[in-house]
A and B are shown apart, each in its own frame.
Chain A
């Protein structure tokens, strides 16, 4: 299974390195989302300490939520791109015919999406710090939050994108399925990220534990179900 995962991971990353879709399209898209939100919420966000009022929100609260929203939107593009690779020229049938372990294919494709999103998150985190003057108080907590949350985005996205891969309406189906599923994950990730920034009123680690459980659960679900997902249902 791991050998097959590595084969698929290497293939997907090699394609990405050559096509540069993440760097030229998905990353700019994520940054644009972040900037647009920053413009839209500019009046509401309080950057300096002690300036908050009833009609304002702290930079930490806003930037954490926006960071994960921008990541989610970009993740949708990334998983759809990952799925599209297998739609062209019968790649999906090619994977099925290869005899590779479906669980390995799932892990390989999810890992490729995860790595692309991880790079994107570094970029978006820098954007958050620049745009909202957010302070990174606990980098370890942020990393511990980002890893399981990104695993959830990558695994659920890979499952749904593959499941809807043969459908004509797949581009709209994936967000329709993905958003409700990951809404609680985004809430948990936002809370933990807020704590990792400069909000001392929240303990982030319970949220991280929740995210780790979700990441393990969705990874296990994908490993178990991807055989059925990959077949024509």
Chain B
């Protein structure tokens, strides 16, 4: 775990994330083709229903993988399984070199999920919510202010109660929590939903910067055009399996692909 913790703490500041790369999450040495996500024949049951039914997926460091699929295909379940929020019933699930079935807490600390819910407290301000996420995740408190500025919630907005924020501002607050925590693996579930065009562009920029810095990003999205533009790889999920997996070759930012 030492290498993983080290990777989080030594990650570059938000503003200049691009020039530096994270070290390899598993052994702390230079980037190597070790998958950040290594799922083999993973089964996740929601009740008795197999939401993931023997899914195989390998994702390398610095990849931006867009997960596509119809409603109920298993996109959100896949993200939740990677984050350790739902239990893996069968198969091998290794994330950041840690066996999810044995140690979910370590994985969770290095994963950031931006989902349908923002994990925000209405009675705390924007800055307090981000501060709580940072302290809970044992990240560097010095990253809070730059993150707030970066998502455009600086000035008086930082002291606004989240309960009084618009949907877009709430989304930006969650995004700021994510970039302030700077986890090694970002899991974004329909991240563009509820954002104005400017915020969508900002999100895409942040994702590209994070990936350039060595962060691995999984994005579940229905927005095909945006997904193609953002992704280094597109994975289609259906019936709890991966039905298609292709690299997006026209993106020069493509990083290390999993073997």
Contacts and interface: CB of A to CB of B under 8 A. Distances in A.
Interface of A: 4, 7-8, 11, 14-15, 18-19, 85, 88-91, 93-101, 232
B121 A11 contact: yes
A93 B80 CA distance: 10
B133 A90 contact: no
Given A11-B132, A97-B111, A99-B109, A91 B138 contact: no
Contacts of B109: 98-99
Main secondary structure of the interface of B (DSSP, over half): loop
Contact of B85 (A7, A96, A101): A96
Contacts of B113: 93, 97
8 contacts: A7-B132, A15-B121, A19-B123, A85-B121, A97-B85, A97-B112, A98-B136, A99-B108
Contacts of A91: 119-121
Contact of A14 (B84, B115, B117, B128): B128
A96 B123 contact: no
Nearest to B118: A89
Given A11-B132, A19-B123, A98-B133, A90 B118 contact: yes
How would you classify the secondary structure of chain A's contact residues: helix, strand, loop or mixed? helix
Interface residues of B, number: 31
Residue from the set B83, B116, B117, B123 with the largest chain A CB neighbour count within 10 Å: B123
Interface string B195-236: 000000000000000000000000000000000000000000
A18 B135 contact: no
Nearest to A91: B119
A100 B121 contact: no
Interface of B: 83-87, 105-106, 108-113, 115-124, 128, 132-133, 135-138, 161
A79 B108 CA distance: 26
A137 B128 CA distance: 45
A175 B79 CA distance: 36
A81 B141 CA distance: 29
B121 A7 contact: no
Contacts of A7: 132, 135-136
Contacts of B122: 88-89
Contacts of B128: 14
Of all A-B residue pairs in the complex, the 3 with the closest CB atoms, nearest first, are A99-B109, A90-B117, A94-B119
A15 B123 contact: yes
Contacts of B106: 99
Nearest to A21: B123
